[in-house]
Structure 1
Amino acid sequence: MKKRIKSSLKLLNELKILPSWLILTFDLTIIAIICVFSYLAYTNIGVNLKTNASLLTRFLIVIGIYFFNFTIFKTYQGVVRYSSLKDIMKLLKAVFFSTLCIVVLNEIYRYEYKSILFIYTILINVTLFGFFTLVGFRIFVKFVFQYLNQDEIPKSEKEKIAIVGVNAMNISLIEPLMTPSGKYDLFCFFDTNASLNGKKVAGIPIITTSEPIIKYLRWKKIRNLILPIGVLNENEEKKLIEDCIHNNIKVYKPELLQNTNTSTDLIEYNLDELLFRDQIDIDNPKVIAQYNKKTILVTGGAGSIGSELAKQIASFKPKKLVILDQGETPLHGIQLYFDKNLSECNCVFELVDVTNKKEIATVFETHQPDIIFHAAAYKHVPVLEKNYKQAIKVNVFGTLNCLENAVKFGAQKFIFVSTDKAVNPTNIMGSSKRIAEMLAQNIYYSQKSKTMEIMITRFGNVLGSNGSVVHLFKEQIAQGGPITVTHPEVNRFFMTIPEACKLVLEAGAMGNGGNIYVFDMGKSIKIVDLAEKMIRLAGKIPGKDIAIKFTGLRPGEKLYEEVLTECSETLPTYHPKIVIAKETEERKFSNHDIINHFEDFQKISRKEMVVIIKKIVPEYQPENTEEY
């Protein structure tokens, strides 16, 4: 019998989640039907109302008021088959306020026309029957789907899952996780409150063992864990996630994916979130005021850092935002993004190469920027080891062009986005950025009145940037491996793109020209550890499912990256993640000297280039170089 019923209701069982407009239509239809039946019932027993308003008018008033309150309280946004007490409370509020609105309207009408629109007994009838019918409709739908889906997936075939923390948010996950058609078997809760040990929530046991959670997960072969951030202290949280990754246990947020066919699609933490870096928010009014109602130019504005800077600057409501890049396709991409998401921002998009003196001068003359964020640069170490002339052309002379025009056209601030590879450089790219830093500092100190503040920011690798190792690893994992790492001991500092850009904006607002601002990058990460973590996050086992191949250090690459030069001391700023690298070494070369050294750089051989760079940047020590 059960199979016959299920077969006849197969179409219903295969329905996806109903759209919100359809749920709203059902709810209004229920109210409309109850209104009609209530009216007919009272009419049949001789209860009639004499009023100037027509029956249709009164009917439309009731439906309109209910529509308004259903919309206000968003009673239609939930998934009917997973309705909870929260959804019932929304219905109660909507029905109550609808009745209240009708009563108020009724009394206003009585005052104006000495008669009423609605009989209160009918109104009470509609209110009570309406509320219980709306709730009953949801309960019926839940029952039908539970009946149709029960035993669909045997418990033995489900994946065990546990939740850390007993709170309202986590408890709300019990019902969707425990549906018969779901793929999970909710095994237990973990909590730090010892008084909860041995108790149950909706039949799910609570465990408050003093032993590490990972031991219990391994013992009970639980392969999935829901971990809200902040339930455990930072060290315990970090250790648990590391242990879970090492043991191929998936870690999820206490959130369900929206618009899916199943209620048990949980959201996994991404790699950025697993680096345990604190979220940075710019809420300093002085910082916001620095960029509000200013004309701001972002060079390299279609790149990873430049585009994120532009997006964040747009939130400060600048007078004009000029986004400049030499790449046509990426510039078109960022323009489409702004047209769609930030159309209220007054933006201009300039397809210009910073090395073209005439074109860059025209941009400055046309827009007269108050603040410049210079993010345009070539940055790939192996590429620039071979194409060393381009490193000098773009990173040195491109920066100089922007600096000179900023001074000429009266800019207030110039923020140069540099790199930690400029510290004790071992490659052409890092050296070219260090030389650009020197040019910037020289221009600042050569100003008689210091009218333009020039700041330099240094930070390490950013996750998700163009050419990031993370992108490479993802591609290699998708292809089945192997993952290529240059050396077992190579390590790097990492931060996310939004985090780096927020710190650049903070540093740019500090207003201390001539300084090099260094960001707290946290602890360095071994690239091989990052590779293993990404393999395990993909549900694979390093060395077994995906191999890791060591290819040897590339030209110009070094094992470790420093954040500060040995000849620097640091000074604190008001921001805990930003310090000033106070250069104590005397500046030996003027900009005139530097330009003279590179006057004929297009004709210089690589050996000659290395000699010149060493002279200007004594700390430059080429490593793993090759002859090209």
Structure 2
Amino acid sequence: MLSLIGRTSPLLDADIKHYSKPLTDRVGQSRFLVLGGAGSIGQAVVKEIFKRKPLALHVVDLSENNLVELVRDIRSSYGYIDGDFQTFALDIGSEEFDALMMQQAQSAGYDYVLNLSALKHVRSEKDPFTLMRMINVNVFNTDKTIQQAITLGAKKYFCVSTDKAANPVNMMGASKRVMEMFLMRRSQDIAISTARFANVAFSDGSLLHGFNQRIQKQQPIVAPHDIKRYFVTPQESGELCLMSCLFGENRDIFFPKLSESLHLVSFADIAVKYLQQQGFEPFMCGSEQQARELAQTLPVQGQWPCLFTASDTTGEKDVEEFYTGEETLDMARFHHLGVIKNELVIEPERLQHFENKIAAMKAKQCWTKEDIVVLFHQMIPDFGHKETGKYLDGKM
């Protein structure tokens, strides 16, 4: 995986080795709740916690199948611990989850609550209904579970943001930017830290994960040739989240430092390297139809049909960035991690306006994407959203 994303060594080795003992000691003395723990990043976080033998590790996720695979993976790789390890196939917004949290509040509770749940795809903004669910998951479920963590007496609440929250151009990034505003309000009552990081290579649902699926199903490989992104491995994403959770101060946002080890890589370049690792040479096609047809014959000749095109869909960001020029940075504390020292800026009227507007839309059971775009512009005055009228679901 490292060679595919243009690296020869793990990104955070120096920091993980330097903090090895305090990491192990703190995990071994603590109880953890991981929300959204069966997604790619969530599973990576759960493994980083599990192998350091916590007192308790509870994992909540909507995907029953992914939870099963997570347990199989952990048992096969790490075995067992003396601590209390349990998984729960629950919706964070459900009454059943609320009952779990209530029972924990009356018993041992949790020291750390980590929220990895999110609707993360740019394609989720294609319709107003999925877009509203994205707001519920990324903003309101986060706010709700912070309040529950406070009731539990947790020491710390961690959640994942995204590099797309810095100068956002799509609705997913904007929802995470709004989430960060809500975090600042709750940070007066509980210590909160978060992380913005790059694309997680081969995470579920990602374009690189799709390469695996296309090979298995003997279908063409498709990628944009004009988009470059930063990539971290799943393990690096888990390490980054755990470092922020355990060592981040209140309101800190962690991010990976840019260096020779972390640089922009194009999807098309990764596709070529990926196919060569699989034993195929890429064959460049001129249309979707040609690519589909050649997928039936080329593989047996040691070639694979590829379609590399320019990006023209809504929500694609030209340049990825982890912070803005207005944010204060601490670049000296860690070897390969930077920290945004987030100022406590709370605008209660603006947050209340957002809540009221969303509540009114839900009460009418009628809203448009344009209604939500206008609201995001009110929350984020420099929101750079550009509507092209084209979405990823309309392409191969």
1:339 offset after TM fit, Å?
Answer: 4.6
Structure 1 distance, partners of 2:320, 2:333, is 26
**2:352 pairs with one of 573, 588, 592:** 592
Q: Which has the larger radius of gyration?
A: 1
Structure 2 distance, partners of 1:304, 1:563, is 20
| 2:158 corresponds to | 415
Q: Is the 8 A contact 1:507 1:578 kept in 2?
A: no
Q: Which structure 1 residue ranges, 5 or more long, are not aligned?
A: 1-268
| 2:382 corresponds to | 619
1:509 offset after TM fit, Å?
Answer: 1.7
1:278 offset after TM fit, Å?
Answer: 2.9
| 2:69 corresponds to | 333
1:337 offset after TM fit, Å?
Answer: 3.4
**1:542 pairs with one of 274, 279, 282:** 282
1:595 offset after TM fit, Å?
Answer: 1.9
Over 3 Å counting, the alpha-carbon distance change for 1:272 and 1:290 in structure 2 is farther
AA partner of residue 313 (structure 2): R
Structure 2 distance, partners of 1:573, 1:384, is 38
> Are 2:210 and 1:472 aligned?
yes
Higher relative contact order (CA 8 A, sep 6+): 2
1:584 offset after TM fit, Å?
Answer: 6.0
| 2:41 corresponds to | 305
> Are 2:172 and 1:440 aligned?
no
Matched residues, number = 353
Q: Which structure 2 residue ranges, 5 or more long, are not aligned?
A: 285-302, 392-396
Structure 2 distance, partners of 1:474, 1:549, is 17
1:599 offset after TM fit, Å?
Answer: 1.7
| 2:54 corresponds to | 318
Cα deviation code 1:190-244 (max 9, x no counterpart): xxxxxxxxxxxxxxxxxxxxxxxxxxxxxxxxxxxxxxxxxxxxxxxxxxxxxxx
Over 3 Å counting, the alpha-carbon distance change for 1:559 and 1:542 in structure 2 is farther
| 2:85 corresponds to | 347
SS of 1:275 mapped into structure 2: coil
Over 3 Å counting, the alpha-carbon distance change for 1:297 and 1:613 in structure 2 is same
Say what the alpha-carbon RMSD is for the aligned residues: 2.5
TM-score (norm 1): 0.53
Structure 2 distance, partners of 1:513, 1:349, is 28
Q: Is the 8 A contact 1:613 1:620 kept in 2?
A: yes
What fraction of aligned residue pairs are identical, expressed as a percent? 26
> Are 2:335 and 1:580 aligned?
no
SS of 2:32 mapped into structure 1: strand
1:414 offset after TM fit, Å?
Answer: 0.6
| 2:255 corresponds to | 518
SS of 1:618 mapped into structure 2: coil
> 1:196-595, aligned counterparts within 5 Å?
271=3, 274-278=6-10, 280-281=12-13, 282-283=16-17, 284=19, 285-340=21-76, 341-344=78-81, 345-356=83-94, 358-367=95-104, 368-386=109-127, 387-445=130-188, 447=189, 452-477=190-215, 482-486=220-224, 488-520=225-257, 522-543=262-283, 545=303, 546-550=305-309, 552-583=311-342, 586-589=345-348, 591-595=351-355
Over 3 Å counting, the alpha-carbon distance change for 1:416 and 1:292 in structure 2 is same
SS of 1:549 mapped into structure 2: strand
Structure 1 distance, partners of 2:48, 2:370, is 42
Q: Is the 8 A contact 2:174 2:383 kept in 1?
A: yes
Over 3 Å counting, the alpha-carbon distance change for 1:474 and 1:333 in structure 2 is closer
SS of 1:484 mapped into structure 2: strand
1:578 offset after TM fit, Å?
Answer: 1.5
SS of 2:308 mapped into structure 1: strand
SS of 2:192 mapped into structure 1: strand
TM-score (norm 2): 0.81
Structure 1 distance, partners of 2:30, 2:39, is 22
AA partner of residue 359 (structure 2): E
